[in-house]
Chain A
Amino acid sequence: MNCDAARLAIGGDPGASTPELEEHVRGCAACAQWRREMQALDADILRALQLPPDMAQATAARGAPAWRQWALAASAVLATFAVFALWLLRPSDTLAHDVVTHVQGEPDSWLATQQVSAEELNHALSGAGVALHITSDKIVYAQSCWFHGHYVPHLVVQTALGPTTVMILRHEQVGGRRAFHEAGMSGVIVPNERGSIAVVARGSAEVGAVAGQMGGEVHWMPEPAPSPPQAH
């Protein structure tokens, strides 16, 4: 492989690796440097693509006169204060959003149909120091997920509403029941003895009854010693 072919292979796919390319790069400092630059660029491209393009913001920023930029800055400050105030008043909204985002990140969870084994369920619960009084055959998904700095049980229960996610949040205190609708999901976060329980289902389902039932089944045990997060 010569430098032209190596540059094409690297520029076309910086993550590519073939024996011929590796051999060439080992003996060619210029192509090795080109690959490092392309891999760095690719990481930035991925970050750039992970958000959709925002043309409205871009158009607004283009060619604006100075007074408008000051006005925009003032508006931004006011908006920041407003968001901060809203956040203070409704802290569980952020929590709800994070719960929804977490559920979206595990789309397969709502496709499960097989009852989880007692071992799987115990593994998901014990990491958070939680037990359930029930052993329902309706629990079809049970994972111990890293969420807000702690392992939390992430369960999916088959209910009359369809697959319903239950997250037992030992470290999330909420002042009262908080219902939410986001990203095509409906949910509720309810306070419990030592934290809170989040319940989420698709559509506009009323999940309060599920939250109430699950809340009564949770048994809090001493919290296990923390361990570092793992990829999940």
Chain B
Amino acid sequence: MRNSEPQSPVSSISGRLRAPDPRDPVTQLFESLRPDLLRFAHWLARDRAIAEDIVQEALLRAWRSRDALQDQRAARPWLLTIVRREHARLYERKRLELVSLDDATEIAPSPGTEESEDQLFALRHAIMRLPLQYREPLVLQVLGGFSTEEIARELQLSATAVLTRLFRARNKLRVLCGMTAAGDVTLNEGPA
């Protein structure tokens, strides 16, 4: 389903290629997916400006390697994968914890909203509070539409480890939203 990610190094500003032709079908396809990519990057990085940088860099990488995209229907998961890896690189390089967990934990819902909106608000911020090891597979699965096996390959974990993280992510969300926690699973997490 996915194509391989480009191996080229992160480009510098001075080394960037000239702008692609906006009428090029692949460019148009990439641009049409930009909102999806930005939303995905935003949930990973929890900072809009950094998310925009990540997406820009990812699209540049993708455009350089556009010949690797054999099937345009695979563009979305391919680009999401590149965005995730770009975020991982940034995270690894700078050890960024982009938003303090305290900032996310002390948030109250805005007054006057409907109950369901309050619940959604609480859930959004509960997701924000999840550690990256739980938030990342959850966003990949629910927003990105990746299967357990695809997430496992991407995160270099076993499928069981991915299921365990996703189980714990949902269990934490239940607790953060005021529901009772289910008993934890006690399976080992380890590389595949």
- Chain A residues packing against B (C-beta within 8 Å): 4, 7-9, 11-14, 16, 34, 38, 41-42, 44-53, 55, 57-59, 61-63, 69, 73, 104, 107-108, 110-111, 113, 162-163, 183-184, 202-203
Assess the A11–B28 pair: CB atoms within 8 A: no
Contact digits for B135-152, partner A, Cβ 8 Å, 1 yes 0 no: 000110111000010000
Assess the B182–A12 pair: CB atoms within 8 A: no
In whole angstroms, how far apart are the Cα atoms of A132 and B139 in the complex?
A: 45
Assess the B104–A58 pair: CB atoms within 8 A: yes
Known A7-B183, A13-B141, A58-B107; 10 more pairs at CB < 8 Å: A7-B167, A8-B167, A11-B185, A12-B165, A52-B48, A55-B46, A73-B111, A107-B29, A113-B25, A163-B23
Assess the B164–A55 pair: CB atoms within 8 A: no
Do A48 and B162 contact each other (CB < 8 Å), given the known contacts A62-B107, A104-B32?
no
Chain B residues whose C-beta falls within 8 Å of the C-beta of A48 in the assembled complex: 120, 123-124, 127
Do A104 and B35 contact each other (CB < 8 Å), given the known contacts A59-B103, A111-B28, A111-B72?
yes
* CB < 8 Å neighbour of B103 from A55, A108, A162: A55
Does B66 sit at the interface, judged by CB under 8 A?
no
Assess the B170–A41 pair: CB atoms within 8 A: yes
Q: What are 13 A-B pairs with beta-carbon distances under 8 A?
A: A7-B185, A8-B167, A11-B171, A12-B148, A13-B141, A13-B163, A45-B170, A47-B120, A49-B139, A50-B39, A53-B124, A55-B47, A162-B22
Contact digits for B99-138, partner A, Cβ 8 Å, 1 yes 0 no: 1000110111111100000011001110110000000001
Assess the A12–B187 pair: CB atoms within 8 A: no
Assess the A111–B124 pair: CB atoms within 8 A: no
Does B31 sit at the interface, judged by CB under 8 A?
yes
Chain B residues whose C-beta falls within 8 Å of the C-beta of A59 in the assembled complex: 103, 107
Chain A residues whose C-beta falls within 8 Å of the C-beta of B163 in the assembled complex: 8-9, 11-13
In whole angstroms, how far apart are the Cα atoms of A204 and B141 in the complex?
A: 36
* CB < 8 Å neighbour of A202 from B23, B99, B110, B173: B23
In whole angstroms, how far apart are the Cα atoms of A108 and B109 in the complex?
A: 38
In whole angstroms, how far apart are the Cα atoms of A50 and B139 in the complex?
A: 10
Contact digits for B166-178, partner A, Cβ 8 Å, 1 yes 0 no: 1110110110000
In whole angstroms, how far apart are the Cα atoms of A55 and B112 in the complex?
A: 19
Assess the A111–B25 pair: CB atoms within 8 A: yes
Chain B residues whose C-beta falls within 8 Å of the C-beta of A34 in the assembled complex: 182
Assess the B31–A12 pair: CB atoms within 8 A: no
Residue of A nearest to B148 (CB): A13
Chain A residues whose C-beta falls within 8 Å of the C-beta of B111 in the assembled complex: 69, 73
Assess the B39–A52 pair: CB atoms within 8 A: yes
Do A62 and B108 contact each other (CB < 8 Å), given the known contacts A41-B173, A55-B103, A107-B33?
yes
In whole angstroms, how far apart are the Cα atoms of A119 and B127 in the complex?
A: 48
* CB < 8 Å neighbour of A49 from B23, B28, B43: B43
